[in-house]
Amino acid sequence: QVQLVESGGGLVQTGGSLRLSCAASGRTFSNYAMGWFRQAPGKEREFVSAISWLRTTYYTDFVKGRFTISRDSAKKTAYLQMNSLNPEDTAVYYCAAAPYGSAWLAPSAYNYWGQGTQVTVSS
């Protein structure tokens, strides 16, 4: 079992930055891929970014060059640095974990989820 707690969301103006954190507890953090998803009102959940147990990273097209994912095994924390934010980035952002050896690029691999943190970008 893995417990995930996100933090770092908030209100920011267009062009601003936020860094989201996802603190993990429970089983060995390094054995999981960590992903970030988001869901805007009235829209389906989107896969934003992920980092594997080998620190291989993935970014969806709409965040490439703006968002950076990272992980700190000593702190059992994953991060999502978000720069050049725009109103279309407004959503609840969720952290999730996929077990070692899973198809971590597939959203269905993520079976542990945090409660979400709200990100609002004003125009």
Beta bridge partners of 113: 96
Rg (CA), the chain: 13
CA distance 91 to 27: 29
CA distance 67 to 85: 9
φ, ψ dihedrals at 44, nearest 5°: -75, 160
Q: What is the pLDDT along the chain (123 residues), one digit of tens a residue?
A: 899 999 999 999 999 999 999 999 987 888 999 999 999 999 999 999 999 999 999 999 999 999 999 999 999 999 999 999 999 999 999 999 999 989 999 999 999 999 999 999 999
φ, ψ dihedrals at 107, nearest 5°: -55, -30
Closest by CA to 97, choosing from 7, 44, 9, 25, is 25
Share of the chain above pLDDT 70, in %: 100
Tell me the three state secondary structure of residue 96.
strand
pLDDT score at 23: 97
